[in-house]
Every structure is written in C-alpha cells, then in structure tokens.
Structure 1
Amino acid sequence: MKPVKNILKNIEILLLALSIPALLALDSVESQRYNKLNSKVNSLEKTEGELIESNKRLINDIGLLSSSSRIEKLAQEDLNMHKASSNEIVRIEIKDK
C-alpha cells in the first residue's frame, strides 16, 4: 500500500508543479487580451467624444439655419417675398357633403 501512496503523492506533486507554469502562462494570455480590449475601449471612447462634439456643432448649425430671422431675411432678399397684407389673404372653406 505504501508504494501506491508514494506514487499518488508524487503524481500530486508533479501536477501541482506543472500547474504553476500553466497558470502563469494563462495569466499572461489573459493580460494580453485585457490590454488589447482596454486599448480598443480607449479608442472607442475617443471616437465617441469626437462624435459627440461633432453632433453638438451640427445641432448648433441647425439652430442657426432654422432661425425665423434668417428664414425671413432669405425670403425677403433672395426670393423677393413679403408679408401678406389682409387684402391679399384668401380664405377657402370646404363644406362637407
């Protein structure tokens, strides 16, 4: 019985000794994977910030372009439009049948 116990004990020690380098290698692989993912996250966060700033500028431009004073100026100067007087307004009523 003693030789079997010795063999089992030696196998346990051998497995333990082999598991340490294997775990270190696994840790190294996971560390590399983490660094790649972290780099990708940083890149995506930078892109997100740029897109947010671009979106803010576009929203501001939309506000400027759609302002009523700008539209009125374009209508008067470029399209030769004017505000309708009361005698120029025609009302149409549609009656149900």
Structure 2
Amino acid sequence: MIPIILDNHTFLAISVRLPKTNLLAVASEKGYIMCGALDVGLLNDKLRDRKILAGRATGVTSIEELLDAPLESVTWEAVEQGIHPGMLGKEALIKMI
C-alpha cells in the first residue's frame, strides 16, 4: 500500500502480488478503480443496494498503468457521479473525492 497524490488529494494504492496475476486498486474515501479482476456486473446487480462507486480498467499490470488507462466499465453509481467508460482512471478518481 502506498499513497498516491492527484490534484493535491491523497488516494491509497494497493497492489497484491498473486501467482500469475496482480490485483491492483486505487481508492478514495468514496470509491475506487481496480484492475480487470473487478466484477462490475456483480456490483451493479447483486450488490446494487450498496451503491458502490467503482470503475474497472483491463490489461493493466501496474498502478501507473491503472491511473492512465481508460476505464472499460463502471458501476451505475459511478455513472451518477459523472464517471463513464473511456474516462482515464486518474480522472475518475478525482470525481470520487
């Protein structure tokens, strides 16, 4: 875990090394972006009542790539906050402040 500063705001970057893959996430107090392991469909369907603010970027292998990658999918709660697929991870995080 390491702090990441974007636009003078601090986010928490988490990287978990697992066999044959890494889990990557960067979180604010309100939401997070994550690598392709994030199941946006599950969050939107089975956990809809939790109103989780999250986005998913695929094909990333580092925190830096996650920040610079376009989001492949986002939760419905993220859409309500102005976050949409194609938005860069770091841009989405700023909207999660």
TM range (shorter): under 0.3
| TM-score normalized with structure 2 length | 0.17
Greater helix content: 1
Q: Report which structure shows greater RCO (CA 8 Å, sep ≥6).
A: 2
| TM-score normalized with structure 1 length | 0.17
